[in-house]
Chains A and B, each alone.
Chain A
Amino acid sequence: MTATSHSSTLTVPPQDTPAEAGPGRTARPARTERSRRQSPLTGTGTLLRFMLRRDRIRTSVWVLGVGLMGFYFAHAIQLIAEDQEALNSLAPLYADPIGRMMVGPGFGMDAPTHERFFASGYALFVHILMALMTVFTVVRHTRAEEQTGRAELVRANVLGRHATLTAALLLVTGAVLLAAALVWVGAVTAGFDMEGSLLVAATSACTGLFFAGAAATAVQLSESSRGASAMAGGLLAAAYLVRMGGDAPEVGGTALSWASPLGWAQQTAPYVDNLWWPLLPLAGGAVVFTALGYWLSTQRDVGASLVPTRLSRAEARPALGTPLGMAARTLRGGLRGWGIALVLTALMFGAYAQSMVDAAGSLPPEMEQIFRGGDLMLGYLAFMALFMAVFAAAAGVSALQQLRGEENRGRAEFGLSAPMSRTAWLGAHLTVLIAGLVLILALVGAAMGLGAGLSLEEDGWSHFWDLFFAGLLQAPAVLATVGIVTALFGWLPRIAGGVGWVIVGFAGVMATFGSLLDLPEAVQDLDLFGHLAQFPAADVDWAPVLWLTGIGVAGVVLGLLGWRRREVNRV
């Protein structure tokens, strides 16, 4: 048989006899031999390239986010405290028990410098963000892939047993190193000490790798990616809580601080003692967890978990059979998460009240300018109520994005195939969302009141109702945000989420820097959150309460109208 006959008649199957094999075919036996010698890591490189391609934007955003956060902290401190005097007056905020509870052991606050502020007050949050990046990335490329069944498709190819986990860990290690380098650059460009800055960056990297290891273990244990993220994230939360308890009693922390991986990270005392050895338990933990993850992965099947999935109810509770019940089940997870985080933060901010009273009069003017209003303590709490409300609005935007997701994934379509009107569907979700957000704001106010009541030495409880009301008073701005995004959901669903995040982001920037930026009034007025009075530091102004509520209600009505008349689309 000749080559031409091969190409002309497609029906003839290629008959590969060794005598016929041309030069192009000699590679074949070699390939078979190589695949016979395959290792558990076969295919790691290909998979890593695939992951990089898939996550080229996501990973870049994470890395830049961590880097920018470090850069921002390092440079912002110098804006807030311009000279030594300002530094000295700010130092107690980090060195007193409540400050230590929030941010760490408070090394070097007896002789504060900008770099020590950076390490004591802010580096912890860079570490936490780094840990979140590694947990989410590892889970996303391992368990989430198995859960969706995509892993099966990939594993069916010539791929070693450990290739997926290895590629995910390589990806995350690369991201961690890059982000740490950016943090280092951020600190050094702020004029901080080389070695201390390197230590901060190295600590961040080790923390990230520690939690990457924890995630590598968690994904073997849980059958769902959410469960795995919750396990590794729960370890991070526990680490934070343990070091809170450890750092509060004494400057420099106590034995309990050493029971937390975040405690180890902070015990390096950058720019003060520059200790490198506490990185050993972090790095060691990363190695142990990673090894455990590899070992556990050999003990289970693809797609299976070591912790059996918990069975839940076989029949629904009566409440689930209504649009409201359905909406509540869809939205409550997210609202609960945001609620718990915001209420705990509010409690801590409230507990900071006494420190603010003590620091009154000695704070740098830039700081006072942020907390507009007469009484510094109340001004601070009014500001915090606003700040929390911006986050509550973020919760609202993210919930509305979730609704758009329900639509895109076809669950709205499926739900609407039951006798449930469009108005009932969106109305029920909005009812749950708005009720949830108002409840969060009320709880935030109550938590601030509780914190202040417990911490203030004089008349602590006299402010409780004022602070409760301060939380609730932010509801109109949150409602307005929800209203605008809902209106867009009804008419221009593609841009709704994006516009929502712009509103929230702008409000966040205006809350923190607005008074320092000196922007034209017309621009400042665009901030939905800038109009409400700084209650309890200032008297309530009802006009903005009314028109912000009006925007919210009008937006909801418009959104419902649009949703009734537009098509339900999945694209």
Chain B
Amino acid sequence: MTGTHPVISAEGLVKSFGSVRALDHLDLSIAPGEVHGFLGPNGAGKSTTMRVLLGLLRPDSGTVRMFRRDPWKDAVELHRRLAYVPGDVEIWPNLTGGEVIDMFLRLRGSYSARRRNELVERFDLDPRKKARTYSKGNRQKVALIAALAADVDLLLLDEPTAGLDPLMEVVFQDVIREARADGKSVLLSSHILAQVEALSDRISIIRAGAIVESGSLSELRHMTRTTVEVETAAPAEALAQQPGVHSFRTEDGRSVFEVDGDRVQEVMLRLAPLGIRSLTAHPPTLEQLLMRHYGEDLPPQDAPRSPQRASTAEAAPGQPPAPAEAAPAEATAAPARTSGTGRH
């Protein structure tokens, strides 16, 4: 291990394909032994980043170091220490799954045959079938086993479970936890929020080629809004004008709003004199964090759909229509969750 030096450190990466800017001053840092969730929708630049890290693409500008080496120049040396699972796994149709796994393990050097067979069993893969007859999920299993059975320090996983069923998703999460326990670092690109939330020590959210948020889940929560539901003796409408308060609305005599993480204190001080009868506050879910960054891409006609909202322009991002129908306690969390969890 390289001690405290980051396993991956990228600064100001820029990469353009023709007129399209795939990476736009991207910064990324991953510490040894950390599982780093890399979140973003399709086309945000996750795969391009992976391919720069693998030394397959050369950035237009910026620096990138892996294990303190240049991935373009020292690709071979670096690749002894990492294993990669592509997002769209293509394997040689005339080889069996078992053959592909062995080929990669041998190319990568040291590995344990026992571990390989154990993973084949856990992922429920028939290694005797020719790859041309495999489904996407089975091809992904082949790449995952080849990566996870290898004796490497870093795993680069590009949407590794997009084709797997929920049972295999559970196996995958177990195996990644084991990898972390072994001291491996993992860069896990994904848009399955529950997976990233369950596995990651730190998270980076990428948007249009740049990292828009980075930190542990609790740090990110601090940086973003807390949802507050409060019942007060005096009307609380004035709070809507308070800086840091968003999406203020009144439901059944209670006020529901979101507060910026760093302004909770001020808002609480303003609330107290109003006579608090009941109060619940809960941190944002990962879905909310993500939707805050991506929701702004939603078409503007979203706004008139939720006329109940006090401040529609702020409320629109990421909020599916009609939150009023949800149970009050989950008023803000529920709609976002349904849109997020529906994916896996």
- Spell out A's residues near B (CB within 8 Å): 9-11, 147, 149, 223-224, 226, 309, 311-316, 318, 320-323, 325-326, 329-330, 333, 409-411, 413-422, 567-568
Pairwise interchain contact B128-A313, C-beta atoms closer than 8 A = yes
The size bracket of the interface on B is 35 or more
Instruction: Report the bound CA distance from A415 to B104 in whole Å.
Output: 8
Pairwise interchain contact A320-B102, C-beta atoms closer than 8 A = yes
Rounded to whole Å, the gap between the CB of B312 and the closest CB of chain A is 14
Instruction: Report the bound CA distance from A322 to B102 in whole Å.
Output: 11
22 contacts between A and B (CB under 8 A): A11-B322, A223-B133, A226-B132, A311-B129, A312-B96, A312-B128, A314-B128, A315-B102, A316-B100, A321-B105, A321-B107, A326-B103, A326-B107, A330-B92, A409-B90, A416-B54, A416-B56, A418-B79, A418-B107, A420-B79, A421-B75, A421-B76
Rounded to whole Å, the gap between the CB of A325 and the closest CB of chain B is 7
Instruction: Report the bound CA distance from A322 to B104 in whole Å.
Output: 9
A420: B residues at CB distance < 8 A: 76, 79, 107
A409: B residues at CB distance < 8 A: 90
- Other than the given A11-B322, A418-B107, 10 more pairs (CB < 8 A) read A309-B129, A311-B129, A314-B96, A323-B107, A326-B103, A414-B143, A415-B107, A418-B108, A422-B75, A568-B51
B128: A residues at CB distance < 8 A: 311-314
Known: A11-B321, A147-B132, A311-B129. A567 touches B90 (CB 8 A): no
A325: B residues at CB distance < 8 A: 103
Pairwise interchain contact A11-B51, C-beta atoms closer than 8 A = no
Pairwise interchain contact A414-B90, C-beta atoms closer than 8 A = yes
If over half of B's interface residues share one DSSP class (helix, strand or loop), that class is named, otherwise mixed; here it is: mixed
Pairwise interchain contact A419-B103, C-beta atoms closer than 8 A = no
B295 interface residue, CB < 8 Å from A?
no
Look across to chain B and name the residue whose beta carbon is closest to the beta carbon of A412: B56
Look across to chain B and name the residue whose beta carbon is closest to the beta carbon of A423: B76
B100: A residues at CB distance < 8 A: 316
B32: A residues at CB distance < 8 A: none
**CB-CB contacts below 8 Å: B75-133 with A:** 75-77, 79-80, 82-84, 86, 88-96, 98-109, 126-130, 132-133
Pairwise interchain contact A316-B89, C-beta atoms closer than 8 A = no
Instruction: Report the bound CA distance from A314 to B133 in whole Å.
Output: 15
Instruction: Report the bound CA distance from A567 to B92 in whole Å.
Output: 21
A315: B residues at CB distance < 8 A: 98-99, 102, 127
7 A-B pairs with the lowest CB-CB distances in the bound complex, closest first: A321-B106, A316-B102, A417-B84, A418-B107, A311-B128, A314-B98, A316-B99
B79: A residues at CB distance < 8 A: 416-420
Tell me the number of A-to-B contacts counted with CB atoms below 8 Å: 124
Pairwise interchain contact A413-B106, C-beta atoms closer than 8 A = no
Pairwise interchain contact B135-A418, C-beta atoms closer than 8 A = no
Pairwise interchain contact A568-B77, C-beta atoms closer than 8 A = no
Instruction: Report the bound CA distance from A325 to B107 in whole Å.
Output: 11
B305 interface residue, CB < 8 Å from A?
yes
B57 interface residue, CB < 8 Å from A?
yes
Look across to chain A and name the residue whose beta carbon is closest to the beta carbon of B128: A311
Instruction: Report the bound CA distance from A22 to B54 in whole Å.
Output: 60
Rounded to whole Å, the gap between the CB of A128 and the closest CB of chain B is 26
B96: A residues at CB distance < 8 A: 311-314
Rounded to whole Å, the gap between the CB of B131 and the closest CB of chain A is 10
Known: A311-B128, A311-B129, A419-B80. A316 touches B56 (CB 8 A): no
B133: A residues at CB distance < 8 A: 147, 223-224, 309
Pairwise interchain contact A418-B104, C-beta atoms closer than 8 A = yes
B127: A residues at CB distance < 8 A: 314-315
B99: A residues at CB distance < 8 A: 312-313, 315-316, 320
Look across to chain A and name the residue whose beta carbon is closest to the beta carbon of B136: A149
Pairwise interchain contact B103-A320, C-beta atoms closer than 8 A = yes
Instruction: Report the bound CA distance from A326 to B51 in whole Å.
Output: 22
| Contact among B51, B95, B105, B136 for A413, CB-based, below 8 A | B51
Instruction: Report the bound CA distance from A314 to B100 in whole Å.
Output: 10
| Contact among A9, A312, A314, A419 for B107, CB-based, below 8 A | A419
B222: A residues at CB distance < 8 A: none
A224: B residues at CB distance < 8 A: 93, 130, 132-133
Known: A316-B103, A418-B104, A418-B108. A413 touches B132 (CB 8 A): no
Pairwise interchain contact A416-B88, C-beta atoms closer than 8 A = no
Instruction: Report the bound CA distance from A223 to B90 in whole Å.
Output: 19
**Which of A323, A330, A416 is most buried by chain B, counting CB atoms within 10 A of its CB?**
A416
Rounded to whole Å, the gap between the CB of B108 and the closest CB of chain A is 5
Rounded to whole Å, the gap between the CB of A153 and the closest CB of chain B is 13
Pairwise interchain contact B94-A333, C-beta atoms closer than 8 A = yes
A314: B residues at CB distance < 8 A: 96, 98, 127-128
| Contact among A223, A226, A321, A333 for B103, CB-based, below 8 A | A321
Instruction: Report the bound CA distance from A27 to B156 in whole Å.
Output: 54
A330: B residues at CB distance < 8 A: 92
Look across to chain A and name the residue whose beta carbon is closest to the beta carbon of B150: A418
Known: A309-B129, A418-B79. A329 touches B94 (CB 8 A): yes
Instruction: Report the bound CA distance from A416 to B54 in whole Å.
Output: 8
Rounded to whole Å, the gap between the CB of A311 and the closest CB of chain B is 4
Known: A223-B133, A316-B102, A329-B92. A416 touches B75 (CB 8 A): yes
Rounded to whole Å, the gap between the CB of B129 and the closest CB of chain A is 6
B254 interface residue, CB < 8 Å from A?
no
B19 interface residue, CB < 8 Å from A?
no
Look across to chain A and name the residue whose beta carbon is closest to the beta carbon of B116: A315
Known: A149-B135, A316-B103, A419-B109. A567 touches B84 (CB 8 A): no
Rounded to whole Å, the gap between the CB of A224 and the closest CB of chain B is 5
Instruction: Report the bound CA distance from A533 to B23 in whole Å.
Output: 56
